[in-house]
A = this chain, B = another copy of it.
Amino acid sequence: DVPEVAVIPGDGIGHEVVPAAVEVLETVGDYAFTEAEAGDATLDETGEALPAETYELAATADATLFGAAGESAADVILPLREAVGSFVNIRPATAYPGVDALRPETDLVFLRENTEGVYAGHEDRLTDDVSTLTRVVTETASRRLGEFACEYVRERPEHDGFTVAHKANVMRETDGLFRDTVLAEAERAGVDADTVLMDAFATHVCLDPDRFDVIVCPNLAGDVLSDLAAGLVGGLGLLPSANVGDERGLFEPVHGTAPDIAGEGVANPAATMLSAAMLVESLGDDDAGDRIRTAVEGVLSDGPRTPDLGGQATTREVTDAVLARL
């Protein structure tokens, strides 16, 4: 039985980088691909940014590769994360040798809670003047993330432990519950863990990214702090991500649709290919994951480069260079 992989290019450069990553997947393994639609163009055509068929496909496929969505991103990506039952968003932020980075020593992994916080989003307009949002933090979701973080660190000898980023000095009950529950899991598992206030993290990661390694955060903190780390490694263009659930996952580059270059055939496919590496690993093929990562990193360090990295190569040329190394 060949794993079923749902493929959702979305909008903009999604239509360029996702097919490139699919070629990579076809080279390293045997997968049954099914393509589906989502995003702004789909919204225009069908009245829905995320059609029920696309949701269903992601909810049943063994893994989903997603590109990017435009204005409708939140209406696409948040339900898709739910469709795959994802409880953690893994966001590595690594500077690659040979790629311009503000902090070339940056090598971080964010483990972002993926189900609640402000994203659980119960909002009300109580009066003309007053609006509220109910932020939700549960012990169950915090414990699950903590367990995952412990397993993640223990399976990877390159990581010594993790840091919990939080704002429990202000959000005492909610972030306090998050922090204490994750720390309790670390203690139970015998994993080293410390804590940092999310605002202090924002300063310190700029001054000395080496101070940190794996960062475990609530949902919105993970969103903002991982995007900050993206700035330190030179932009969103190279960052992959994995939305991991118990049975399946959703894999997507951190970048957006890049409307300024969409359709020109010069989008950088690296982040989507690195997301594909995480995808095959989630299907148990660590070997194929390593092969993809090695090939992409090789091309990043001395192969052809797309314009975002200061080169003149096309997506096609970069893809061929990666395929040649596989």
Residues on A facing B (Cβ under 8 Å):
73-74, 78, 102-103, 118-119, 121, 123-125, 128-140, 167, 169-174, 177, 198-200, 202-207, 220, 223-225, 227-228, 230-232, 234-236
* Across-interface contacts of A132 in B (CB, < 8 A): 134-137, 173-174
| B136:A102 contact, CB within 8 angstroms | no
Known: A128-B139, A133-B134, A225-B202. A123 touches B231 (CB 8 A): no
Report Cα–Cα, A210/B125, bound state, in Å: 36
* Across-interface contacts of A202 in B (CB, < 8 A): 202, 224-225, 227-228, 230-231
- Copy tally for this chain in the complex stands at 2
> How near does chain B come to A10, taking the closest CB pair, in angstroms?
15
* Across-interface contacts of A140 in B (CB, < 8 A): 129
* Across-interface contacts of A171 in B (CB, < 8 A): 118, 121, 123, 133
Residue in B102, B138, B228 whose beta carbon sits within 8 Å of that of A228 in the complex: B228
Residue in B131, B225, B232 whose beta carbon sits within 8 Å of that of A138 in the complex: B131
Report Cα–Cα, A255/B66, bound state, in Å: 42
* Across-interface contacts of A174 in B (CB, < 8 A): 123, 131-133
Report Cα–Cα, A61/B102, bound state, in Å: 44
10 extra A-B contacts, CB within 8 A, seeds A121-B172, A205-B231, A206-B228? A78-B170, A102-B103, A102-B206, A118-B167, A118-B171, A123-B174, A129-B138, A130-B136, A130-B139, A170-B220
